[in-house]
Structure 1
């Protein structure tokens, strides 16, 4: 039976964590810019966050597709952590989008 190599899974897990972490950094920077009424920079940072979370999600999805194809994925606490990190950051992105909208409503008229 075909299986994913544990070292390859660990590397993939670290890539998911890295890209999700990058996305988290960008989204919190974006909220900071929005609080300063720099909505253009906030939007640019949210785009970067979106690119990073997409990369993380793609890696995770490709791994899960392998399992669906019958390829064995070894149990890995690191991969579980990577998935938790990914889903948490995805939720944070959704929440921060709403916070940015609030900043735009309460401060947008001063920025043009």
Structure 2
């Protein structure tokens, strides 16, 4: 049986992952690239835990076809998908800010 606690773990860890991804973007924007990358790695760790809880729930569904899904689980899956998207975009934005920093350094050196 799938408990609310099982589902809540997805929401908690996915929420942490999304928040950390957004913090990583802000750090990159502020020029703290190394810190942003570290924060993004922490985001990915939280996302991995959320994904494992999701996988555990899916296995329970597979072993018990009579198990019913509910809106709470759908809500948790939505949180996880938002966290995945935020983490993916954070990676791209950190890379972009890092390139901008490098270009600014080159311009400053050549002025």
Please report the TM-score for the alignment, with normalisation by the length of structure 2: 0.85
Aligned: 1:36 with 2:59? no
Q: CA RMSD in A?
A: 1.4
Shift of 1:71: 5.1
4+ runs deviating over 3 angstroms: none
Larger radius of gyration: 2
**How far did 1:87 drift?**
1.0
**Match of residue 40 from structure 2:** 46
What residue number does 1:106 align with?
100
- The number of equivalent residue pairs is 104
Unaligned runs of 5+ in 2: 106-111
Aligned equivalent of 2:84: 90
What TM-score comes out, normalization by structure 1 length? 0.85
In the alignment, structure 1 segments of 5+ residues that lack a partner are none
Give distance in 2, aligned partners of 1:69 and 1:12. 16
Deviation at 1:75, TM superposition (A): 2.5
Per-residue Cα deviation, 1:6-64 (whole angstroms, up to 9, x for no partner):
xx2x1111111011110111111111111111111111101110110000010001110
Please give the secondary structure, in 1, of the residue aligned with 2:64. Answer: coil
